[in-house]
């Protein structure tokens, strides 16, 4: 594990300066601060200050790092986790990665030096050295919704292939053949699993297997809008669009309206992985896979408290339901 000496060397500052920056004490220049913080980030340095000596002390505070707090799915997970934690005498501090690996690592570093008893984590992509260090340091961690290959932490996640199966069945029943699929990043388990399940099931559900109907964004609205634009720019005119999460569906809808106009766009049926509160008000109403954010948040807290108590915890896959809003 990197030491404060490594950080000082990397930052090109004295040991005293690095120490002052990392402990937050004394006067340091903004330049030294940013150099030392950058070096600490690059080396995945975990503060070894006064807070670490408190690790043996329970605080009844849990950390929760979500992928995107503006995504209602994650704000719902956060809300449910917090209620369950409160019920059990714990409180939850929340941090937002904004679908960004670097920002996620920054918060992992903060949580490592704060006084938390355990961490609920919706990870960004594969395991970072920062995350590996935290697990090695003995902090109890559970994963929410997204998995990380090879990481030794129990997970509480949506059954993505079951959920995509419900969408495929619905698309077939509605007679759609030219379906556009707007996915998420392949580096995130939910992005990869939903895309794989969709590709695997297309043909048997009578859906066009032309890959020009498929594109992927970053699970945020703007990236999904661009992905949908690319599909339309390839000259594809789908009769249905499947968005791989809530913000993705929003972005796809914007692109459809922008390119086709409101009237033409309203002839395209839209279906979403993630049910949002406003889908019933759109014309035509948007059907959706509802995954149970509340169940994931609640099960995650229960699992984490079992881990903290030293008990073995098994991973869970949580089933989805389908909300059919077609007439």
Instruction: Tell me the C-alpha distance between 78 and 70, whole Å.
Output: 11
Q: Which stretch binds a second copy (CB under 8 A): 10-18, 28-36, 147-155, 208-216?
A: 28-36
Can you give 57-94 as a three-state secondary structure string? Answer: CCCCEEEEEECCCCCHHHHHHHHHHHHHHHHCCCEEEE
- Rounded to a whole number of angstroms, the minimum distance from the CB of residue 43 to a second copy is 17
- Does 91 bind a second copy (CB under 8 A)? Our answer is yes
Rounded to 10 degrees, the C-alpha dihedral 271/276/278/280 comes to 50
Which of 12, 16, 24, 129 is the binder for a second copy (CB under 8 A)?
24
Q: Which is nearer to a second copy, 96 or 320 (CB)?
A: 96
What does the alpha-carbon distance between residue 273 and residue 266 come to, in Å, rounded to a whole number? Answer: 19
Select 209 or 311, whichever has its Cβ closest to a second copy: 311
Residues 220-279 that bind a second copy (CB under 8 A): 221, 250, 253, 257, 276-278
Peptide bond between residue 302 and the one before it cis (omega within 30 degrees of 0): no
Binding residue for a second copy (CB under 8 A) from 42, 48, 52, 75? Answer: 75
Taking alpha carbons only, the member of 89, 34, 29 closest to residue 58 is 89
Q: Closer to a second copy by CB, 3 or 60: give it.
A: 60
86 lies in the binding site for a second copy (CB under 8 A): yes
CA terminus-to-terminus distance, the chain: 59
CA 179 from centre of chain: 25
- How many residues are listed for the chain in this entry? 327
Distance, CA of 103 to CA of 110 (rounded, Å)? 11
Q: Which stretch binds a second copy (CB under 8 A): 1-9, 49-57, 134-142, 305-313?
A: 49-57
In this structure, how many other beta carbons lie within 10 angstroms of the beta carbon of residue 16? 11
The answer to whether residue 217 forms part of the interface with a second copy (CB under 8 A) is no
Count interface residues toward a second copy (CB under 8 A): 53
Please, which residue, 102 or 186, has the CB nearer to a second copy? 102
- Whether the CB-CB separation of 21 and 10 falls below 8 Å is answered with no
Q: In this structure, how many other beta carbons lie within 10 angstroms of the beta carbon of residue 175?
A: 9
The one among 37, 48, 172, 316 contacting a second copy by CB under 8 A: 37
Please give the residues from 277 up to 296 whose contact with a second copy meets the rule CB under 8 A. Answer: 277-278, 281-283
Q: Which residues bind a second copy (CB under 8 A)?
A: 23-25, 30, 33-34, 37, 49-51, 54, 56-61, 69-70, 72, 75-76, 78-79, 82-83, 86, 89, 91-96, 98, 103, 106-107, 110, 113-115, 117, 221, 250, 253, 257, 276-278, 281-283
């Amino acid at each position: 594990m990197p030491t404060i000496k490594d950080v000082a060397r990397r930052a090109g500052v004295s040991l005293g300066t690095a120490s002052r920056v990392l402990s937050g004490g004394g006067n340091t220049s903004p330049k030294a601060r940013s150099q030392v913080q950058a070096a600490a980030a690059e080396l995945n340095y975990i503060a070894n200050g006064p807070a670490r000596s408190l690790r043996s002390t329970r605080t009844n505070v849990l950390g929760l790092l979500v992928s995107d707090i503006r995504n209602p799915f994650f704000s719902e997970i956060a809300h449910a986790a917090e209620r369950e934690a409160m019920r059990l005498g714990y409180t939850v501090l929340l941090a937002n990665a904004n679908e960004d690996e670097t920002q996620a690592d920054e918060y992992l570093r903060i949580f490592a030096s704060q006084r938390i008893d355990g961490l609920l984590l919706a990870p960004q992509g594969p395991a970072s050295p920062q995350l590996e260090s935290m697990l090695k340091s003995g902090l109890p961690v559970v994963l929410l919704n997204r998995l990380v290959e090879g990481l030794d932490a129990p997970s509480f996640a949506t059954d993505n292939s079951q959920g995509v199966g419900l969408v495929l069945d619905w698309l077939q029943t509605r007679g759609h053949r030219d379906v556009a699929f707007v996915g998420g990043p392949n580096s995130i388990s939910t992005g990869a699993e939903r895309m794989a399940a969709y590709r695997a099931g297309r043909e048997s559900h009578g859906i066009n297997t032309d890959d020009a109907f498929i594109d992927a964004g970053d699970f945020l609205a703007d990236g999904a809008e661009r992905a949908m634009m690319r599909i339309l720019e390839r000259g594809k005119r789908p009769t249905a669009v499947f968005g791989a999460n809530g913000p993705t569906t929003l972005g796809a809808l914007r692109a459809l309206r922008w390119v086709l106009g409101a009237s033409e766009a309203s002839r395209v049926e839209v279906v979403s992985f993630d049910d949002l509160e406003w889908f019933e008000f759109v014309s035509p109403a948007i059907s959706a896979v509802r995954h149970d954010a509340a169940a994931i948040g609640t099960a995650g807290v229960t699992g984490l408290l079992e881990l903290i108590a030293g008990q073995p915890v098994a991973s869970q896959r949580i089933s989805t339901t389908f909300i059919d809003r077609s007439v």
